[in-house]
Structure 1
């Protein structure tokens, strides 16, 4: 069975819920009392997109300033970056400007970007409107989702669609160039058409 590997790096300031998102995506569970990430951690999650098995390698990076210097090397080989802020903290959205600069400096030039607005379950504490988050995402050429790690709202949809976007555009890993899904679909349809017609050439 052909398994496609996709590396995603989770970025953002501390306390926005990066580790909770990681645990929800990988384990399907919400653990509220998580220990603040020190340095970098990573986990795996497997999803299926158009009959293609995809193994996600998710890197959870620390948001504290004292750990930012060691984040750079972990961009190597990344196919996508997920920048996360907290809808109850306007400052957390403003802090993403630092991480965007870090991505531009350290990540592969064609890396895909997704902005995640976490804690959608805390509407009564909202400081950042959806439009503000969407406008920020548009300004950095990223897709945008508002999610809740606590309830799971929109989370798997966000990661599935982001991964599909990466595969659709084609990714390069250490061993081979991935054929975009739309190209695979066209080849499959062409083969089926040829078999129906009985032709071999």
Structure 2
């Protein structure tokens, strides 16, 4: 089976749950009190979507301002980027707009953008409405989904949606020993914006 290598960069403010979402996707686990990422960390996972195999090389960047200057090193050459915010933190959503602006100015021209509102398990503490985020997504032409690293809601669907949005390119041949099948039946608060 042929496999497509996908470099993906995960961006967003500190403490929005970037590392927890990646751990949920890659290892299907959740570890409370995950330590803050220093610089960036790397994980990979292969998945099968619509009979196509994708090997995601995920660069999880630090959210602290002092590491922001390093971000271009990680998103350069990326096929996709996930910009994450915490639905219980309005300021983290404002940070998304800054990341989108930077990616539009300095990132790859054909990069697939996804915006993920994390921590929907904390609905009673919500500060960012689904409608507000979906409207912004529509304006910038990004995939939009809400997730929970704790419950796994929306996490696999996020990567499935990105896979389906990637522009066609040639596939590299690799072993499929770690391939998994993701189904499109996962239920979550999701809206894909196509502008």
Structure whose alpha-carbon radius of gyration is higher: 1
Partner of 1:143: 143
Structure with the largest fraction of strand: 2
Alignment of 1:118-137 (within 5 A): 118-137=118-137
Q: How many angstroms does 1:6 deviate by?
A: 0.9
Q: Which secondary structure state, in structure 2, belongs to the residue aligned with residue 149 of structure 1? A: coil
Partner of 1:27: 27
Q: Which secondary structure state, in structure 2, belongs to the residue aligned with residue 121 of structure 1? A: helix
Partner of 1:194: none
Question: For the residues of structure 1 that align with 2:88 and 2:123, how far apart are their CA atoms?
Answer: 8
Q: How many angstroms does 1:140 deviate by?
A: 1.2
Task: Point out 4+ residue stretches in structure 1 off by more than 4 angstroms.
Answer: none
Partner of 2:56: 56
Question: For the residues of structure 1 that align with 2:92 and 2:137, how far apart are their CA atoms?
Answer: 14
Contact kept? 2:12, 2:83, Cα under 8 Å: yes
Partner of 1:66: 66
TM-score by length of 2: 0.84
Contact kept? 1:11, 1:61, Cα under 8 Å: yes
Question: For the residues of structure 2 that align with 1:3 and 1:54, how far apart are their CA atoms?
Answer: 6
Question: For the residues of structure 2 that align with 1:94 and 1:160, how far apart are their CA atoms?
Answer: 26
Partner of 2:168: 170
Gaps spanning 5+ residues in structure 1: where? 172-176, 180-201
Question: For the residues of structure 1 that align with 2:163 and 2:168, how far apart are their CA atoms?
Answer: 11
Q: How many angstroms does 1:178 deviate by?
A: 4.9
Q: How many angstroms does 1:105 deviate by?
A: 2.6
Aligned length: 172
